Each structure stands twice: as structure tokens, then as C-alpha cells.
Structure 1
Amino acid sequence: MTLAQVILAATLGCLTLPSTHAYAEIVRRDFTVTSQDGLQIFVRELHDSDAHFDRGPMLLVNGGRSGVLASWDVDAPSSSAAEELARAGHRLYLMDVRGFGRSAFPQEMNEGRFGVPVAVRSNEAVRDITAVVDEIKRRNPDEPRLTGMGWATGSQWLGHYASLHPETISHLIYYNGAYGGPAGGWRLQAEFADPEHPAELNYSRHGSYRLATAEDLAGRWRNEGIDPAFLERYVALSMEGDPTTGEREPASFRFPSGPTADTLKMVNGRQIFDASFIRAHVLILRSAGDFWSRPTDVQTLLAHLTSAASAKLVEIPGVSHYVHLQPTPDRQKFLDAVLSFTASVMRERQS
């Protein structure tokens, strides 16, 4: 399939899947929970009914642009990182923070991009995570284990949540997330910051929410030999949650500016949360070629995790921000790091 066909398919919304489906032993069930302020939050439960080990529940959170299915569960052959984690024995819960993927959009995103507050700040994401974790605990009574991992801003939100609710997360994987430390050195500073106020979003350019086209999503991979089946699903899953996608030319989906606004503070000397309150076992996992997190972010976070049950930094050499998406030897390095960390919670299932 050509990229043009991918864009057309995504625009027409013809590639969505039903809410309950299974591939071999992988079982998916979709549901929603209600956040504290009434917004419906999408969750997918995914597990391998034939897994030989039980690593406990794991919460996966979307990144700062595409929703959680595009972030973690691209259902092209061999492309879903969530499936690999499920086969290793985790019961996955994938959630979209408000304004992303299949979750409800806040009021700020149902109006014009300008003249309204920046949509979806970290404190609002924490409300959504709280509602989902409460439901995970309800579905897994007497289960003390819960691993949390997000992609970039997803990890930032989980870190904020874990600092406020330290008793609920047993293992935290902070993957390619910013945190804090000395200001400067962020690769995206010029693109997103107010030129006169480096810690503030350039609101006059970006507004309350931003727009992404299929070209924005897939253009960088056009000539890199990326599997067309993966591109097809990645684009379609990214676009499917926004009912207004086809109203613009070219087709585009809305996503909140809040994560970028919060990250600008974090990389300019203003922390969003204090990691010293986190009590989980923590793996700080960073791609050496990452453009979102900085080396100083992970070193500062590591120094601040003074109350953590344990804290470890792993940097994967020679890989990008997107390493977990594609089934490559580099992705296996990512999976090996994650599963080595969660091996301590693994129990053998009795047949």
C-alpha cells in the first residue's frame, strides 16, 4: 500500500477494529471509566490466555500526540509492543488520557484553538490515571503489583501520579520522559517556546490544541523501508478518535498542547512534580537518540528518587524515540530492559 493509500484509508476511517477481538491467544476487551470530573476515559485490557508466567497488571499510557493504541498496540503483524508484554505474562491495561485517542475531549478542544486555556495539563492527566488505577485495583483485588509505563509525556504523567499516590504503583518505568534539572539543551525549544518566555508555550502559534496529518505522522518513515501494514494501522489508529478528522484538508486530528506546555517548564528549570515522594521500584529507560528527554532529565530524576524502593537507569545505545514501535532487534533491546526489570514480580502459572 502506498502512503497516499494509507492517508486515504485513515481519512475515511475504514480501518478501525471492533472493541472486542482476539488474535490467537491474545485477548482484547475495551471499556471506559469515568474520571473525577465526568469525562469518559478509554481503556483496553489485553492479556495472553496461554502465558506461562504471571507478571501482574501493567498500565500503559499514551504519548503526547497519538492515542494509546497507536502508541502501544498497533495491530499490524508483529507490531504490537503490548502483545509482546502480554506474552511475557503481564495483564495489560492501555489508557488514553483525555483529549487523546478514544477518550473524551475536554471542552477546550471543542472550541477554537485560541482564546481558551491550553488543553490537558498534567494535573488533569493525573485525574484520569487515578480513575483507571482504581478500576484496575477493583478488577484485581488483593493484587499488590502494578507496573506503570508511559511513552515520554505518558511517563511524565505517571511520575506525577506516583508522587501523589505512592502506595498504588509498585514498579514505574519512566521511558523517554523529561523531568527537570538545569535549564536548556532541549532539542524542541525553538519550535515550541515563546521566544520571550522560554518556559512558556508559544500559544499564539500552537494554541490550546494542535493538529497532525498523516504526513506529520508517517512522512519521516516514507523512504526508510518501514512495513506498509504498520504505517497503515499507525496512521489510522492515530486519527480514528477525532470525529472532525475529515473536516480539514488534508485530514488531521486534534491533540492537546498541554503536554508540550508542561514539558517546556520541566526543561527550563521548573518541575511539575517531586520524585522524592515516589516509593515504587523505578526503571529510568532512555533511548540514546531521544529528542524529548535530555541526559540531565534522567540524571536529575535518578538523584531525586530518594524514597524509591530501588532506582536504576538504562540507556539503550543507538536507538530513537520510537524504538518500541517496530519489531526490530533494537525493539528487542527495549523489551529485554523492561522485562528484566519486571522479572522480580514474575510468578509461574500452575497448569
Structure 2
Amino acid sequence: MVGEISRRDFFVTTRDGVRIAIREVADKEAPDRSVPMILMHGTRIPGLSEYDLDVPHGSLAEDLARRGHRCYIVDGRGFGRSERPPEMEAPPAKTRPLYRTLELTRDLDAAVDHLCDASGHDRAGMFGWGVGGTCVMAYAALFPEKVSHLVLYVMMYGAAGNHPKFCHGSQWEDPARPGHFNRPHFGNYTFNAVDMLTREWDRQIPIADKTAWRDPAIVKAFEQALIDGDPTAKDRDPPTYRSPNGMLEDLFLMGIGHKLVDASQVYARVMIVRPEFDTLSRKDDMDALAADLINAAEVLYWQPENTTHYILFDRPERGRDAMLGEMEAFLGR
């Protein structure tokens, strides 16, 4: 019988002294027998917005907790409720983008150590969205003894190149230095519009009535969570929220064909999720990722048809329930 779902917000400190925000979501009555999970966000969106919305079918963390998995939702440095550097209190500057993927593995390491101590497990599972998937894969390569399962959701790998959006000649490339991220334009961090996800989501839903595919309450909760995650958001009209640009630089580099980590260095069980209508994750790139996972204990390459990049937020019958079922079977092995 499922018990009461509890939520607890706290901070951990990384080896280099950065305070990282974590939300624990767990079933108070469930024994710690299931795989404890770290949930890592993607490029511009902090953790709670992606994994714990207070609306029906809006919280992957709660769904996993009800299945016995204690979850830690991580905000990487500079994101959401985590410590931001002084540079992000000043206007954006044309300097090095803040916090590349490998830097964020320090935040994951602090979270994994805390979760393993709290749950009594030697290893944790990890779920990464977009570049968050690249981040957790890099962490699993650095610390194979700490990771049992990886769920790589709508990610980029960098094997294919020629991405239609993150490519040579795009806004992301410095016109004066081909092959380099456009630091003169984007700088160290960005102000993001809260409706950014909704506009891209609309383009992927293949029917006119978008509400038949997704619940409007999800969109409202998502956008409110973005505002709530930045104490300065309402200082601007309309509200915008801040995010570091390091993961954007990594997206561009992977888009033009740079691998940030080689998948042959991963030894955990791996589940790759690439929805059919996703415009970030590409089939040829994920095919290469699956082929490179030569040392993984298991590779499950799931490519659900008629689904979007935002399958975690789509209505249950639009692929969300199927994904939860696939994940639970994978985590049970």
C-alpha cells in the first residue's frame, strides 16, 4: 500500500564550496529497496519545473516515489534555488558562459553521496533531460562505482553533427570564429521567457487542438514554477528567469559534432528515450550513442511513436503512462 508522499527541501555543499538546492520526494512508508534516483534538469530549466509540478501527471518525482524510489531533484549551480555567482546579479556580460556540463558533475556528486548515505544504497540511478542526460552520462563515466542505472531522456550525444538548430551558421555560432559558441551575443547567462517551452511544444503536437494532447494546467504550473524559481523574475515585465549559458555552449558543440564524453566509458544499465516528434534528440545521434555503449550492463533504446519531446508532461494516453511503465521495468532490473 502506498503511503504519504513527503517533500523536503535542503541544500548540500559541493567539494568546491557551492550550495546546491535539492528537493527530496519520497513515500514515507516505502522501504528503501527500490533504486534511489537523481533527477537532473536540462539546458535552461531548473529541476522543479521539469520534475515536480503540483498538478495531476505533472511530477515524475512523485510517480517514481509511489513506486518506491526515493528521488532527489537537483538544481545545478546558477539554476533555480541553488547558489548563483555574483556575475548573475550583474547584467549579462560577454564572457565565458557559466557552468559547462562537466562543472555540473560536481553538483551531481554531492547529491549522489547524500542520497546514498540517506538511503543506505551503494549506488544511485540517474535521470537526465536534454543536456542533463549528457551530464549524468559524464558523471557515470567518472564514477562508475556510484551509478547503477541511467535514463537518458531526449538528449544529444555529439556523434552525428549537422543538427538542424545547433549548427554552423546558426545564431549559436560566433560569426567571427566559426566552430565557437557565440559568446559576444549570448555571454555568461541569459534571461528566458517563461512561455519558451509552450511555443516549441505547440510546434511538435501534430493536432490542432493542443489541449487534447496536453493539459493546460500543466502549462500554467510549469510557467509559474519558472517564475518561482528565480527571486528576480517579477522585477522584469514580462517576467523572465535567469539561467547560465554553459549548457547552451555544450548543445552547440554537440550539434556540430563534438562528443563531450564517450559512451564506451559507461558501465551502468542505460535506457535511451527518443520520442518520434522530438526536434532536439536525433535518431542518427542516438543510434551512434547506442552503438558506443559497448560496456554498459544493459542498453534499452526506446523510440515511442507519435510522441513529443515533452512526453513527461503530455496526457497519460499520449505516451506518459507508457514511459512510466518502460522506466519501471528498466529500473527493476
1:227 Cα deviation from its structure 2 partner: 3.3
Kindly provide the amino acid, as one letter, of the partner of residue 113 in structure 1.
Answer: P
**Alignment-derived partner of residue 206 in structure 2:** none
Q: Residue deviations 1:195-229, cap 9 Å, x none? A: 46554322233221122223334456687225343
Q: Greater relative contact order (Cα 8 A, min sep 6): structure 1 or 2?
A: 1
| Corresponding letter in the other structure for 1:280 | A
CA contact (8 A) 2:218 2:313 kept: no
Residue matched to 2:265: 277
**Matched position secondary structure for 1:60:** strand
1:177–1:307 Cα change, 3 Å: same
Q: Provide the rounded CA distance (Å) in 1 between the counterparts of 2:201 and 2:257.
A: 33
Q: Which of 26, 45, 59 in structure 2 is aligned with 1:47?
A: 26
Aligned partner of residue 321 in structure 2, secondary structure: helix
Cα distance change, pair 196–115 in 1 and its aligned pair in 2 (3 A): closer
**Offset of 1:234 from its aligned partner?**
0.9
Q: Which moved more, 1:100-109 or 1:54-63?
A: 100-109
Conserved 8 A contact 2:37-2:126: yes
Cα distance change on mapping 1:271 and 1:28 into 2, 3 Å: same
Counterpart of 2:299 in structure 1: which amino acid? A
CA shift at 1:107, angstroms?
A: 3.6
Aligned residue number for residue 238 of structure 1: 226
Partner of 1:65: 44
How far is the alpha carbon of 1:33 from its aligned partner? Answer: 0.3
Shift of 1:109: 2.2
Q: Match for 1:202 among 182, 197, 200?
A: 182
* Counterpart for residue 215 of structure 1: 195
Structure 1: distance between partners of 2:16 and 2:246: 18
Instruction: Tell me the distance in 1 between the aligned counterparts of 2:41 and 2:300.
Output: 23
Query: Measured at CA, do residues 124 and 195 of structure 1 come closer, stay the same or move farther in structure 2, by a change above 3 Å?
Result: same
Instruction: Tell me the equivalent position of 1:144.
Output: 122
Check 1:117–1:107 CA distance in 2 against 1; reply closer, same or farther (3 A cut): farther
How far 1:233 sits from its partner (Å)? 1.9
Query: Does structure 1 conserve the Cα–Cα contact (< 8 Å) formed by 2:77 and 2:83?
Result: yes
Q: Secondary structure at the match of 2:139?
A: helix
**Secondary structure in 2 matching 1:124:** helix
Please tell me whether the aligned partners of residues 153 and 274 of structure 2 are also in contact (alpha carbons under 8 angstroms): yes
Structure 1-normalised TM-score?
A: 0.85
- AA partner of residue 288 (structure 2): T
* Per-residue deviation, 1:307: 1.7
- Structure 2 partner of 1:103: 82
Say which SS state the counterpart of residue 287 (structure 1) adopts. coil
Q: For residues 196 and 186 of structure 1, what CA distance do their matches in structure 2 show? A: 21
Q: How do 1:155-194 and structure 2 match up within 5 A? A: 155-189=133-167, 190-194=170-174
Q: Secondary structure at the match of 2:24?
A: strand
Change (3 A) 1:73 1:290: same
Q: Are 1:35 and 2:23 an aligned pair?
A: no
Shift of the alpha carbon at 1:191? 4.2
Specify the code of the residue in structure 1 equivalent to 2:161: A
Aligned 1:83-122 pairs, distance under 5 A = 83-122=62-101
2:316 to 323, 328, 346: 328
Cα distance change on mapping 1:50 and 1:186 into 2, 3 Å: farther
Checking the alignment, whether the CA contact within 8 Å between 2:105 and 2:138 is kept in structure 1 is yes
TM-aligned CA deviation for residue 116 of structure 1: 2.5
State the distance in 1 between where 2:201 and 2:287 align: 31
Q: Which amino acid aligns with 1:205?
A: H
8 A contact 1:103–1:241 mirrored in 2: no
Please tell me the residue identity of whatever aligns with 1:112: P
User: 1:82-112 CA deviation, whole Å, 9 max, x = no partner?
Assistant: 2111112211111111111111113442333
Do structure 1's residue 297 and structure 2's residue 285 form an aligned pair? yes
- Equivalenced residue count is 321
Q: Which amino acid aligns with 2:142?
A: L
Gaps of 5+ in 2: 203-208
Distance across 1 between alignment mates of 2:79 and 2:27 = 26
Q: Counterpart amino acid of 2:255?
A: V
Name the Cα RMSD after superposition: 2.2
Answer whether contact 2:194 2:240 (CA < 8 A) is retained: yes
Deviation at 1:154, TM superposition (A): 1.0
Question: Letter of the aligned partner of 1:137 in structure 2?
Answer: C
Is residue 108–residue 118 contact of structure 1 (8 Å, CA) maintained in 2?
no
Counterpart amino acid of residue 209 in structure 1? Y
Return the letter of the residue paired with 1:224: K
Letter matched to residue 76 of structure 2? V
Report how far residue 248 of structure 1 moved: 1.9
Contact 1:180 1:300 in 2 (8 A): no
